[in-house]
Structure 1
Amino acid sequence: MVKNAARITGVCLLMMAPAAILAGCQSDPDIDITKLAAETDPPETLYNQGLANIKAGHMTEAARKFDAVDAEHPFSDWSRKSLVMSTFVKYRSGRNGDAVNTGMRYMKLYPRSEDSAYVQYLIGLAYWKQIVDVTQDQSYSQKTIDAMQNVVDNYPDSQYVDDAQAKIRFARDQLAGKEMQVGRYYLERKEYLAAISRFRKVVEDYSNTNQIEEALARLVEAYYAMGVVQEAQTAAAVLGHNYPDSKWYADSYKLLKSGGVEPRENAGSWISRAGKKLVLGSS
């Protein structure tokens, strides 16, 4: 078998030009330059090659070098550092799913290392980059919140906390926006109970987002259309108390006045209870 393989290889070399040799013989499983390089180069060399590739803007090649360190020298200090850099370059090159996977591997192995706050932050950024508009699925908004909350909770003194909190606020706005988008869909089709459930979720769970004013106004609209005037009045009263200059309050007030009533709070309503929390949350 060895002799046959040698004879076939010899025929390739004799009959083909150099360029053709590369095209015709590179599939030989015994010739894998990438693997040989990874096995023969020491981890420090591979790591420094990765840094050089970052400097040159070759992010894909940089990630390959750092991944080679982790693959060939796992659990070493060079592997730990390479996982950090691999997570970074994958995020920077838009390979967000790969960045999350590499970052999660790092966090599993080194949750309390000097770079763990940074890697957890990178995971959050990779999720954040995948958030889409509110007409689409918002699973990455929730993943962003979870990842960035880990930064806030587990690394409260890190330099990444402020931006992590900003990303959480953005993602919560997205989740609230999705609820509003679905709620408006039901409202337009006069499916009032389904619409109210969506607007209620915004009021109760996302009261500190930029969707709260419209959510209260839509509750006025939906309850009034159903003939549940007292709840409509309460929603308008809470809206006016917290956002008296809002255009949404002006619209709600006008709607109620068209029916001969005014905003008036019913203390026994769920909206009133939520409104009290809203006041506390905004103080």
Structure 2
Amino acid sequence: MIGVTVSGCAGLFRDKDEDLVITDEPAEKIYNEGLTLMAKEDYPAAVKRFEDVDRQHPYSEWSRKALIMIAFANYTQGKYDEAVGAAKRYLALHPGSEDASYAQYLIAASYYDQIPDISRDQARTDRAMEALEDVVRKYPNTEYAVEAKKKIEVAKDQLAGKEMMIGRYYLDQRNYIGGINRFKVVVTKYQTTRHVEEALYRLTEAYMSLGVVNEAQTSAAVLGYNFPDSQWYKDAYKLVQSRGLEPVENKESWISKAFKGLGLGGQG
């Protein structure tokens, strides 16, 4: 016997061996009960009441409101898969509604809150980045776009940090090409992160080790031009000088072009 105890009238429908009770509780009443449970931080019970609204009054305005609350309540509990599922369903049913931007943000925030430690695989960070960029692209003039941009910078820093960790490992193994490839990702994709200064220094170090002095000089020069007070530049300058050279920018180098592409510039 599956039933819901309520005051008022109820219709009884028999389905094979089970009796399914469909109530006629007002949608607004059920919804407000869900809000009351949310205020008490009884999130599982709140989700059930919001689901009751969606199930009993599927085509009502209250059902639309309940669905976004299901996503929010699950997100609050850390039930990220359920939050994403509810938010995606909301967007599929109500793509043009006033809460569509919030639903998109809940999806992004759910992925963002699952970003793992830098030592682990960063597939979830990539997924968070994509979802956050969706918020900014689809809803650029909302408060959620502002918050998404902040989270994007944190996610970028995480991804850049992972590249740096692997790049440093390659340098320790004297795999200079492997290291350069990792530092190149930081310089070309994550220039706004705190890791770019070290990446330019590591490029100087790797290129010097390979004897590709013009690229080493360029990375040191670009580092000095954009971050003249950086300790990484001081270290790069000393490294170049130790070989009787000076930092000199080759304008045709990918390093120089990468920085000009973002308006950070090079020397000259």
Shorter-chain TM-score: which interval?
0.7 to 0.9
Does residue 54 of structure 2 align to residue 70 of structure 1?
A: yes
Please tell me whether the aligned partners of residues 38 and 72 of structure 1 are also in contact (alpha carbons under 8 angstroms): no
TM-score, L = length of structure 2: 0.87
RMSD across aligned positions (CA): 2.2
Does residue 85 of structure 2 align to residue 101 of structure 1?
A: yes
Please tell me whether the aligned partners of residues 213 and 243 of structure 1 are also in contact (alpha carbons under 8 angstroms): yes
Question: In structure 2, what residue type is equivalent to 1:105?
Answer: R
Q: Alignment identity in percent?
A: 48
Q: State the shift of 1:281 in Å.
A: 8.0
What is residue 165 of structure 2 aligned with on the other side? Answer: 181
**Deviation digits for residues 235-283 of structure 1 (CA, Å, limit 9, x no counterpart):** 101100100100111111111122221211112211121132244489x
Question: In structure 1, what residue type is equivalent to 2:47?
Answer: A
What is residue 247 of structure 1 aligned with on the other side? Answer: 231
The change in CA–CA distance for 1:257 and 1:281 in structure 2 (over 3 A counts) is closer
**Take 1:148 and 1:93, find their aligned partners in 2: how far apart are those partners?**
21
- Tell me the SS of whatever aligns to 1:222: helix
- Tell me the SS of whatever aligns to 2:22: helix
What is residue 164 of structure 1 aligned with on the other side? Answer: 148
Equivalent positions of 1:170-249 (< 5 A) are 170-249=154-233
Query: Which structure 1 residue ranges, 4+ long, deviate > 3 Å from structure 2?
Result: 31-39, 278-282
**Take 2:52 and 2:129, find their aligned partners in 1: how far apart are those partners?**
32
> Which residue among 15, 18, 23 is the counterpart of 1:40?
23
Please tell me whether the aligned partners of residues 53 and 59 of structure 1 are also in contact (alpha carbons under 8 angstroms): yes
Question: In structure 2, what residue type is equivalent to 1:195?
Answer: G
Q: Which runs of no fewer than 5 residues in structure 2 stay unpaired?
A: 6-17
Equivalent positions of 1:138-157 (< 5 A) are 138-157=122-141
**Take 1:66 and 1:194, find their aligned partners in 2: how far apart are those partners?**
52
Please tell me whether the aligned partners of residues 50 and 66 of structure 1 are also in contact (alpha carbons under 8 angstroms): yes
Q: State the shift of 1:108 in Å.
A: 1.3
Please tell me whether the aligned partners of residues 59 and 89 of structure 1 are also in contact (alpha carbons under 8 angstroms): yes
Q: State the shift of 1:171 in Å.
A: 0.9
- Tell me the SS of whatever aligns to 1:39: strand
User: How many residues in Structure 1 have an aligned counterpart in Structure 2?
Assistant: 253
Q: Which runs of no fewer than 5 residues in structure 1 stay unpaired?
A: 1-29
Q: State the shift of 1:31 in Å.
A: 4.8
**Take 2:153 and 2:265, find their aligned partners in 1: how far apart are those partners?**
14
**Take 1:140 and 1:62, find their aligned partners in 2: how far apart are those partners?**
28
Equivalent positions of 1:63-142 (< 5 A) are 63-142=47-126
**Deviation digits for residues 36-72 of structure 1 (CA, Å, limit 9, x no counterpart):** 8983253333212211110111011111221232234
- Tell me the SS of whatever aligns to 1:114: coil
What is residue 266 of structure 1 aligned with on the other side? Answer: 250
What is residue 56 of structure 1 aligned with on the other side? Answer: 40
**Take 2:39 and 2:251, find their aligned partners in 1: how far apart are those partners?**
63
The structure having more radius of gyration, on CA atoms, is 1
Question: In structure 1, what residue type is equivalent to 2:93?
Answer: L
Please tell me whether the aligned partners of residues 107 and 120 of structure 1 are also in contact (alpha carbons under 8 angstroms): yes
